[in-house]
Amino acid sequence: MNQQFDFIIIGAGSAGCAMAYRLSEDPKNRVLVLEFGGTDAGPFIQMPAALSYPMNMRTYDWGYESEPEPHLGGRRLATPRGKVIGGSSSINGMVYVRGHACDFDNWEEMGASGWGYRHVLPYFMRQETSHGGQDGWRGLNGPLHVRRGTKWNPLFAAFKEAGEQAGYGVTQDYNGQRQEGFADMEMTVHNGRRWSAANAYLKPALKRPNVELIKGALARRILIENKRATGVEYELGGEIIEAKAAREVILAASSINSPKILMQSGIGPADHLAEHGIDVVADRPGVGRNLQDHLELYIQQACSQPITLYKHWNPISKALIGAQWLFFKTGLGASNQFESCAFIRSKAGVKYPDIQYHFLPFAVRYDGKAAVEGHGFQAHVGPMRSKSRGRIHLTSSDPRSKPSILFNYMSEEEDWADFRTAIRLTREIFGQDAFAPYRGKEIQPGEALQSDDQLNGFIKEHVESAYHPCGSCKMGAADDPMAVVDPTCRVIGVDGLRVADSSIFPLITNGNLNAPSIMVGEKASDHILGRDPLPASNQEPWIHPNWETAQR
């Protein structure tokens, strides 16, 4: 079988869906989207409060995990990635964080010219319809709906008030001019449903006659002739099929699968490819390197009043919440329950926030396991800019084999000091008067753990991934030997091939990765179509005036 298209996109995730929508706006462009996963229909994905289910279901998740992490006592950490239309935007926590302005200016300094904050802000605005965001900084008619929760629980307000009492600022919109401070958290929810990239971008695109989606298609390799990508070989129902791309192949398969597919296609570190008997098309040592992630801890406090989500942690209550959501798309089922947050700096001399908080009026693990002993609340906290770097390797030349993922978490001494600081700052926030009416004992880590050694032991045993892997196909200057793509997302050394997803981030952004991944898809679309980029913004983001001398 031979199929002819202008563009072939591998992966219907956050960036892939955005590109399918933008590349198909011109009816002359025939666009094929290849996705190994299946449909996103059903309440487990579409109901926001059910977020702990899809990432633990093999139907929707690739089921990856890290190698035994040497600095975490050999623990293997779960590395969920979406295997469904919408990709990880269909199984994530729906938290919407653009990142800090300085993140993108850092990208530009690292060789990603044209990706400074002034360049990416217009794309963030193009992608979103913001409900309640800051005028002049937020989009008003993009495909992606972004809103705040109802803040039904008094603990959400207590968290913000405690931050203020501890001497931190409050920001009206952390996705606007000022990220730093305590704030209402934003979520990708619309009309009570998860507003994934599939709902926002892919489904509208599929109404056009020039877009085709093939589900259940496993991309085996990119077809390359004379250093030019000409199509994709994929497997569907046991049959191997070739699809041809007259213009370009675009890889948007995630920070785990994009480097894997590049290596399967002969693009990567020559010695590693040779180990697996793969002919080298382009020796790019950076493929699979520079892997980054965020780690987080759950700091849990017992609640002395029976007001937390724990009161709904029973079959009858869950059924009532589910029914209300099913029939009316309202109630507790229509929120991810992350409705307050904060971005703070760990110490004086740090220019912009390097610690993020998600606050939850419940003491429970992200995977929905181990609801602890009754009523409690928790903050998910972690440093944002670890210097630890990992890698992705092939385990075999067989496209069906899982990659080897090693994040090398906590390999820098600074990481441990940063986490201890995060724990102590959280205890201080939970110790403020705003929490006095609700504060019971500290559940985790527990008041007995105070010394550096005791906290290190707790971190080593309890730290979890925040599921923000990125960086494994770094964007940089064409003469940077470790760069995989240039600032137009072109794979260096191969024509007609681009990568556009979170794998191209030179540096992890400050916060959750769905928003910047979609932005990459939006901006890459203009590069692919040969359009002039959107005009740069002249908005000036807020930086703490005393950052050099004050922590808050």
Percent of the chain's residues with pLDDT above 70: 98
Q: Say what the pLDDT of residue 372 is.
A: 61
Residues in the chain: 552
pLDDT value at 373 more than 80: no
What is the pLDDT confidence band of residue 57, given thresholds at 50, 70 and 90?
A: very high
User: What is the mean pLDDT of the segment spanning 375-391?
Assistant: 97
pTM over 0.85: yes
CA–CA separation, 379 vs 159, rounded Å? 9
Q: Say what the pLDDT of residue 367 is.
A: 62
Determine if residue 84 is labeled as part of a ligand binding site: yes
pLDDT value at 368 more than 90: no
What is the pLDDT confidence band of residue 366, given thresholds at 50, 70 and 90?
A: low
What is the pLDDT confidence band of residue 59, given thresholds at 50, 70 and 90?
A: very high
Cis omega (within 30 of 0) on the bond before 535? Answer: no
Assess whether 131 carries a catalytic annotation: no
pLDDT value at 417 more than 90: yes
CA–CA separation, 460 vs 464, rounded Å? 9
> HEC string of 107-167?
HHHCCCCCCCHHHHHHHHHHHEEECCCCCCCCCECCCEEEEECCCCCHHHHHHHHHHHHCC
More confident residue, 381 or 366: 381
Determine if residue 96 is labeled as part of a ligand binding site: no
Helix runs in 1-143, H state only:
14-23, 43-46, 101-109, 117-127
Determine if residue 15 is labeled as part of a ligand binding site: yes
What is the pLDDT confidence band of residue 370, given thresholds at 50, 70 and 90?
A: low
Q: Say what the pLDDT of residue 415 is.
A: 98
Percent of the chain's residues with pLDDT above 90: 96
Determine if residue 142 is labeled as part of a ligand binding site: no
CA–CA separation, 505 vs 524, rounded Å? 13
Q: What is the pLDDT of residues 182-192, one digit of tens each?
A: 999 999 999 99
Q: Say what the pLDDT of residue 386 is.
A: 98
User: What is the mean pLDDT of the segment spanning 453-479?
Assistant: 97
What is the pLDDT confidence band of residue 430, given thresholds at 50, 70 and 90?
A: very high
CA–CA separation, 313 vs 306, rounded Å? 12
CA–CA separation, 476 vs 478, rounded Å? 6
174 CB neighbour count, 10 Å cutoff: 28
What is the pLDDT confidence band of residue 313, given thresholds at 50, 70 and 90?
A: confident
Determine if residue 175 is labeled as part of a ligand binding site: no
What is the pLDDT confidence band of residue 142, given thresholds at 50, 70 and 90?
A: very high
Q: Say what the pLDDT of residue 308 is.
A: 95
What end-to-end distance do the CA atoms of the chain give, in Å? 62
pLDDT value at 493 more than 80: yes
User: What is the mean pLDDT of the segment spanning 380-384?
Assistant: 98
Strand residues in 153-277 grouped as ranges (E):
181-184, 186-187, 189-190, 193-194, 211-215, 218-225, 228-236, 239-251, 267-268
Domains of the chain (ranges, CATH numbers):
150-184+295-383+411-462 (3.30.410.40)
Q: For all residues of the chain together, what is the average pLDDT? A: 96
CA–CA separation, 433 vs 209, rounded Å? 59
Determine if residue 76 is labeled as part of a ligand binding site: no
Q: What is the dihedral sign for C-alpha 526, 470, 480, 280?
A: negative
Determine if residue 32 is labeled as part of a ligand binding site: yes
Catalytic residue (one of 276, 468, 527, 544)? 468
Give the residues across from 232 on adjacent strands: 222, 243
User: What is the mean pLDDT of the segment spanning 527-547?
Assistant: 98
Whole-Å CA distances, 269 to 256, 392, 393, 398, 403: 16, 11, 10, 17, 15
Q: What is the pLDDT of residues 75-96, one digit of tens each?
A: 999 999 999 999 999 999 999 9
Phi and psi, residue 60, nearest 5°: -110, -10
Q: Which DSSP letter does residue 404 get?
A: E
Q: Say what the pLDDT of residue 52 is.
A: 87
